[in-house]
Amino acid sequence: MKRGVGLFGAAILACGLTSASNAETRKITEAEKKFCAQAYHTYCGEYGLESTALRDCMNRNGRSLSQNCIEALIDAGEVSRSEVERRKKNGK
């Protein structure tokens, strides 16, 4: 199931991301690969995987991410559920 969300977290993700140093070394999960690949190729393909630039790009495109991608990002620790909910509430 794929549906857009009013933020990136509503995205990669706008996100309440982990610190840049931790984010740089974290590997992309299988769920992120499966559910966020289309968003990556559509919006952020020019950025290297596991890069801060990619995270920033996904964050900027949060409104366009599928719910499955957002859930994968939450599960991976890229964004907190509370941040996603906050952004939904504020329309960001």
Indicate the number of domains in the chain: 1
DSSP symbol at 60: H
Range of the domain at 49: 20-90
Asked whether residue 6 is assigned to any structural domain, the reply reads: no
pLDDT tens by residue, 51-75: 899 989 998 998 899 999 999 999 9
Question: pTM, whole model, 2 decimals?
Answer: 0.69
- Contact at 8 Å (CB) between 58 and 11? yes
At 51, give phi and psi (nearest 5°). Answer: -105, 155
Residue 59 lies in a domain: yes
10 within a domain of the structure (yes/no)? no
Q: What pLDDT, on the 0 to 100 scale, is given for residue 59?
A: 87
* CA dist., res. 15 & res. 39, Å (int): 15
Q: Is residue 73 part of a domain?
A: yes
Evaluate whether residue 9 is within a structural domain.
no
